[in-house]
Amino acid sequence: MEEIYNELRWNPLLGSWIIVSSGRKRRPWRRGECPFCPGSPETGYGWEVLTLDNRYPALRPDAKISRESNDVYKVEPGYGYCKVVVETPMHEGDLCDIPLETLVKYLRELARVTEELCKDASIQYVIPFRNKGEEIGVSLTHPHSQVYALPFIPPRVAVEMRNMEKYWRDKGECLLCHILRLEREEGSRLLYVNKGFTAFLPFFAMWPYEVHIYANRHVGKLAELSSEELLDLADSLKVVTAMYNNLFGFSLPYMLIFHQRPCKVEAEYFHLHLEFYPVHREKDKLKYAAGIEWGAWTFTYDALPEEKACELRAALKRAINALKNGGYDPRGKPIS
Ligand SMILES: [Zn+2]
Ligand SMILES: [Zn+2]
Ligand SMILES: [Zn+2]
């Protein structure tokens, strides 16, 4: 049998880890046979939201390394966990198609899984994310998210933490609470606001239709949200994804990432937020992270964010009408 290796290799130039795994074979299931539908060998029956182990995880608690470190070529076991959270028994659709109560269960499950994995002494960071659409390499249409539990704090989060901490220390306030206030003052990029959460296209967006959702209250992680706030976050997810799917008249591919406080650092300055990165820049054109983005880590934005926010507002109006026609009563207000 082919040996399976899961290891971290250190990039000494960038000072960051690469997760390396071998033997992650192609998905074995046949076409037309969904591994996430109720009644499959792994799922069984009688659930609304279900967490499964990723069958071919990039990280695993019994990780084996293929070689030893040599000088600045550091190698460590790819210790960690990769979970799949099936969001609904329904085979098709997006978050906007899932009933609000099921979405709340989904969020509670993400909170529970985060807390549970954070308890592991070697886990530093737990990151739930959702990839949607073939453009992002997702072949399974059954609505699902993933959760990675990492033995290190990933670079993007580490950078955010550094800047949040600096702002907290220098100004005595939270950077994201401050950004929320700026977005409200300027108003031109705000999209949707309910009691618990605010959705907007950030001043500093990197993707054309990037949207962030910030908790209105200064909380660090999903587990700290009240029942009302969970309903408000579920509502924001429903409305924002409905907005995306009304933008061009087709189901819009995106990445969705949950940024929460790390497991072991007492980061009081950290403010829970979600980030959506859709990959389209026009109806029939994708925005590629290409030479300048990858080679320089510098993003170019080919419009004014305020213009893109206007387009999203028009889509939001259509989405709210469609949701209302479908019998859903949004908990917040679109900004126009
Ligand atoms: Zn299915
Ligand atoms: Zn805050
Ligand atoms: Zn973030």
pLDDT at 55: 87
CA distance 206 to 293: 10
Which residues sit with Cβ closer than 5 angstroms to ligand 3, an ion? 160, 259
CA distance 276 to 129: 10
- Give the start-to-end residue ranges of the domains of the chain: 6-334
pLDDT at 136: 86
Q: Which ligand is nearest to the CA of 87?
A: 1
- How close is the Cα of 221 to the center of ligand 2, in Å? 11
Q: Tokens at residue 117, please?
A: 């994995």
- How close is the Cα of 92 to the center of ligand 1, in Å? 7
pLDDT at 137: 84
Residues of the chain with pLDDT under 50: none
pLDDT at 30: 56
Strands 254-259 and 125-132: antiparallel
pLDDT at 288: 87
pLDDT at 25: 63
Q: Which ligand is nearest to the CA of 256?
A: 3
pTM for the whole structure: 0.96
- How close is the Cα of 109 to the center of ligand 2, in Å? 23
pLDDT at 2: 72
Q: Which ligand is nearest to the CA of 39?
A: 1
- How close is the Cα of 40 to the center of ligand 1, in Å? 9
Point out the residues that are catalytic. 144
- How close is the Cα of 139 to the center of ligand 1, in Å? 12
pLDDT at 26: 57
CA distance 220 to 226: 13
For the domain with range 6-334, which CATH number is right: 3.40.250.10, 3.30.428.10, 3.40.50.1000, 3.40.50.1950?
3.30.428.10
pLDDT at 24: 64
